[in-house]
Amino acid sequence: MPKCPHPRRAPSPSDVERRLDALEARFQGRGRDLEELLASRGISRRSFLKWTSMMTAALWLPPTFERSVARAAAVATRVPVVWLHLQECTGCTESALRTAYPGISELILEYLSFDYHETIMAPAGEAAEKSLEDTLENHRGAYLCVMEGSIPTAMDGKFLRLGPKGETGLSLARRVAAGAKAVIAIGHCASYGGPQAAAPNPTGAKPVHEALGIQTIRIPGCPYNGVNLVGTILHLLLTGEVPALVDGRPAWAYSKRIHDTCPRRAHFDAGEFVEQWGDEGARKGFCLYKVGCKGPYTWNNCNEMQWNEAASFPIRAGHGCIGCSEDAFWDDMAPLEKPLADGAVAIPFLKGVEGSVDTVGWTLIGATAVGIAGHAVYSAAMKKSKPGQDGEEGSHGA
Amino acid sequence: MIRRVRRMTVMMRIMHWVLALSVAACFVTGLYIAKPFWFRPAPGPADVLVMGNVRFVHFVAAMLVDVAFLSWCYLFFFSLQEPFVRSLVPFRKRWGEAWAMLRHYFTLRNKPPTRDPGIDPLNAYGFLVIHFLVFVQMVTGFGLMRPTFSHANSLLPIWPWILEVSERVSVAAFGSLVAVRQVHHLAGFAIVALAAVHVYLQIWRDIFWTEGHISVVFSGYKYVEEE
Ligand code: SF4
């Protein structure tokens, strides 16, 4: 379970350079050329260098690595990637692809060398299948596997069948994961199971690491933030290693509590809260705790990286954090727009009955008060009806 | 003849009050933290950290609870005057005594003898439950302060391992940080409910036994009439 991570030692620069040389040689000519892509979108060299500085810092690498990060970014669009869509809504893919003004991270994501990606690949039918099989064979041990969505395991995984042969998601995922350099679980579903794993979980949906019993790098979020995927890929390319993980999530991205870095935190400490959507507090940008912000229980880097080219992110836009990067948030954090004290908990000994912790707590206090009052009245009545008894009986024991 | 019976040593009384006051403070501040009920309309830039201060009180009171709890644990076994553990073992016999006391509360007859030294077993078992709940609060409370990599945590430099151990234990026991948070919330109510029963029973004893029971917690003595 969670542990305060200690960053690994920075990788040795000469190792990194050697690794990049090898990767460049191996994947030359594959995919798209990053420089061309940047030029075609009118992104200047200067913006690109700013972006590399940002990524280097985000990955906890010293500034001397900026050049290597730039090289790794260029390799990133060439390394073969197999992207599987399992039990999911494709929201993660959409969020990366549908940006009106893609930033550099989104651009790299969009032009990763997808050998197989059901949403955006050019080939169809037999050709698509062949492309997948070829990658599994030719790039065994070198391709990256990105899995989006949970894996249903009930009924032998028959809730999810894919492709012309009706292969189950479970078997496909197992096959692809077996030869991958690393398996990256994208979004809440692949990382923790998502809404389909919420109680009662009829399809037996499990996150990838549980369904396959392998280590994955989890990039949770609903959807995930593209920066976190690109950063993780860069880290893999630079060091050939899985980054330091907390709860299976890259520590560089997921080791800060949203609440601790929140721009509204001063209002929390001051006791200034939005009481209702659209009230004066909302206009003044007060803390969203009372309208259900789950920032205090959530670890992610939304505050620093933000979304859509750092345009904004939920808390800044005025809605509380829903805790989408945490395990079982669909069950635990509901209702999403109420504080946890109003969240439903199963009442002990009353199967199937739910109430908020506050209701349960105050009921307990109320029941105690009633019990005390009852006993007091009862004792008084007893004493009245049999006066003197307690005194006499009581004295001889002492 | 009236005999003076010593019931609580000075240390026990100090611990009792430290615990009582800090638990009360924790409960009230905890209610605010869970659901801030008092809204301070800001006249300008915030100059009073309402939540910040409430949390400060909650944490300081919690630390006092910890200290009182740990000293209680020590005295439970090693008090020179009267280790509480003697009120609980031998188990069979004490269980019988506790049952007799419970019957007495409902029949008002056959008052069990005043133990001297030591407290009556029913009370002792009750305290054990309350202290167990206090222990749960300590572990879940530290667990909720889960260290973050930003080290934005005042306890981390002082007592790093306790946070990590508590977090692991409580998350393993209850499933997730949110569940830990809910348990922390509920256990608070349970402690207050038990404390209410405790206070009521002391008042009840004072009235029905006429032994000056309430003064035990202030002076350490009660007064038993002997023939
Ligand atoms: S808006 Fe949420 S994360 Fe930000 S200070 Fe308030 S409770 Fe914490």
Q: What is the pLDDT of residues B96-117, one digit of tens each?
A: 888 888 888 888 888 887 776 6
**What CATH number is associated with residue A249?**
3.40.50.700
pLDDT of amino acid B41: 57
Per CB-CB distance under 8 Å, the chain A contacts of B105 are: 375
To test the contact with chain A by mutation, choose from B31, B111, B167 the residue with the greatest count of A C-beta atoms within 10 A, namely B111
pLDDT > 90 fraction of chain B, expressed in percent and rounded: 29
pLDDT > 70 fraction of chain B, expressed in percent and rounded: 90
Residue B108 has its nearest CB partner, among A284, A340, A389, at A389
Residue A273 has its nearest CB partner, among B39, B112, B192, at B39
Mind listing the pLDDT tens digit for each residue in A296-313? 989 999 998 888 777 889
Mean pLDDT of B53-71: 91
Quote the CA–CA distance of B18 and B12 in Å, as a whole number.
Answer: 10
Q: For residue B12, give both structure tokens.
A: 């026990």
pLDDT of amino acid A5: 46
Mean pLDDT of A323-333: 88
Specify the higher pLDDT residue, A353 or B221: B221
pLDDT of amino acid A394: 38
Asked whether residue A27 falls in the same domain as residue A173, the answer is yes
pLDDT of amino acid B154: 67
- Say yes or no to pLDDT of B220 above 50: yes
Using pLDDT thresholds of 50, 70 and 90, give the confidence band for residue A293: very high
Specify the higher pLDDT residue, B156 or B175: B175
Mind listing the pLDDT tens digit for each residue in A115-136? 888 888 888 888 888 989 999 9
Closest CA to A70 of A142, A106, A20, A7: A20
Phi and psi angles of residue A114, each rounded to the nearest 5 degrees, phi first = -75, 110
- Whether B49 contacts chain A with CB within 8 A: yes
Residue A391: inside a domain, yes or no? Answer: no
pLDDT of amino acid A177: 94
| DSSP characters over B183-225 | HHHHHHHHHHHHHHHHHHHHHHHHHHH-S-GGGHHHHSEEEEE
Q: Which atom of ligand 1 is nearest to the CA of A298?
A: 3
Question: For the ranges A107-121, A126-140, B148-162, which has the lowest average pLDDT?
Answer: B148-162
- Say yes or no to pLDDT of B12 above 90: no
Asked whether residue A76 falls in the same domain as residue A156, the answer is yes
Specify the higher pLDDT residue, A316 or A351: A316
Phi and psi angles of residue A92, each rounded to the nearest 5 degrees, phi first = -65, -45
- Say yes or no to pLDDT of A208 above 90: yes
Q: Look at A251 and B149 and tell me if their CB atoms are within 8 Å.
A: yes
pLDDT of amino acid B165: 87
- Say yes or no to pLDDT of A262 above 90: yes
Asked whether residue A261 falls in the same domain as residue A195, the answer is no
Sequence-distant (≥ 6) Cβ neighbours of residue A122 within 8 angstroms: none
Residue A389: inside a domain, yes or no? Answer: no
Pocket probe mutation, ligand 1, options A258, A262, A316, max atoms within 8 Å of Cβ: A262
Chain B's closest residue to A294, CA to CA, is B178
Cβ–Cβ contacts within 10 Å for residue A318, how many? 16
| Contact criterion met (CB below 8 Å) for A169 and A125 | no
pLDDT of amino acid B223: 85
Mean pLDDT of B133-154: 79
- Say yes or no to pLDDT of B120 above 90: no
Quote the CA–CA distance of A55 and A228 in Å, as a whole number.
Answer: 10
Residue A118: inside a domain, yes or no? Answer: yes
Q: Which atom of ligand 1 is nearest to the CA of A273?
A: 6
pLDDT of amino acid A106: 82
Q: What is the DSSP letter of A150?
A: B
Question: For the ranges A139-148, A153-162, A173-182, B34-43, which has the lowest average pLDDT?
Answer: B34-43
Task: Quote the ligand 1 centre to A93 CA distance (angstroms).
Answer: 28
Residue A395: inside a domain, yes or no? Answer: no
Q: What is the DSSP letter of A291?
A: G
Cβ–Cβ contacts within 10 Å for residue A18, how many? 11
Domain edge (last residue) among A195, A228, A253: A253
Asked whether residue A185 falls in the same domain as residue A266, the answer is no
| B window 76-95, beta carbon within 8 A of A | none
| Contact criterion met (CB below 8 Å) for A114 and A150 | no
Residue A331: inside a domain, yes or no? Answer: yes
CA of B48, closest CA in chain A: separation in Å? 6
Whether the CB of A268 sits within 6 Å of ligand 1: yes
Residue B209 has its nearest CB partner, among A289, A323, A394, at A394
- At the topology level, CATH places domain B2-225 in Fumarate Reductase Cytochrome B subunit (1.20.950)
With b for 16 or more beta-carbon neighbours within 10 A and e for fewer, the A153-190 pattern comes to: beeebebbebeeeebbbbbbbbebbebbbbbbbbbbbb
| Contact criterion met (CB below 8 Å) for A290 and A275 | yes
Average pLDDT, chain B: 85
What global pTM score does this model have? 0.86
For residue B221, the cross-strand partners are B6
Residue A5: inside a domain, yes or no? Answer: no
Using pLDDT thresholds of 50, 70 and 90, give the confidence band for residue B61: very high
Average pLDDT, chain A: 86
Q: Which domain holds residue A164?
A: 13-253
pLDDT of amino acid A69: 93
Whether the CB of A258 sits within 6 Å of ligand 1: yes
Asked whether residue A235 falls in the same domain as residue A95, the answer is yes
Mind listing the pLDDT tens digit for each residue in A14-66? 889 999 999 998 888 888 888 888 998 888 999 999 999 999 998 988 999 99
3-state helix, strand, coil in chain B (%, to 5): 70, 5, 30
- Say yes or no to pLDDT of A388 above 80: no
Residue A19: inside a domain, yes or no? Answer: yes
Asked whether residue A141 falls in the same domain as residue A216, the answer is yes
Task: Quote the ligand 1 centre to A296 CA distance (angstroms).
Answer: 7
Quote the CA–CA distance of B105 and B99 in Å, as a whole number.
Answer: 10
- Say yes or no to pLDDT of A97 above 80: no
Total of domains in chain A: 2
Domain edge (last residue) among A202, A223, A253: A253
- Say yes or no to pLDDT of A396 above 50: no
Using pLDDT thresholds of 50, 70 and 90, give the confidence band for residue B39: low
Mean pLDDT of A175-201: 92
| Contact criterion met (CB below 8 Å) for A88 and A150 | yes
Question: For the ranges A267-271, A337-341, B116-120, B133-137, which has the lowest average pLDDT?
Answer: B116-120
Closest CA to A344 of A335, A352, A109: A335
ipTM here: 0.86
Domain edge (last residue) among A226, A253, A280: A253
Whether the CB of A339 sits within 6 Å of ligand 1: no
- In sequence order, what E strands does A190-343 have? 205-206, 217-219, 245-246, 249-250
CA of B196, closest CA in chain A: separation in Å? 8
Asked whether residue A248 falls in the same domain as residue A260, the answer is no
Which one-letter amino acid corresponds to residue B11?
M
- Say yes or no to pLDDT of B214 above 50: yes
Chain A's closest residue to B153, CA to CA, is A260
Residue A1: inside a domain, yes or no? Answer: no
Per CB-CB distance under 8 Å, the chain A contacts of B55 are: 269
Q: Look at A396 and B227 and tell me if their CB atoms are within 8 Å.
A: yes
- Whether B120 contacts chain A with CB within 8 A: no
CA of B12, closest CA in chain A: separation in Å? 22
Quote the CA–CA distance of A52 and A69 in Å, as a whole number.
Answer: 6
Q: Which atom of ligand 1 is nearest to the CA of A289?
A: 7
Mean pLDDT of B42-68: 83
Task: Quote the ligand 1 centre to A383 CA distance (angstroms).
Answer: 56
Mean pLDDT of A231-240: 90
**What CATH number is associated with residue A331?**
4.10.480.10
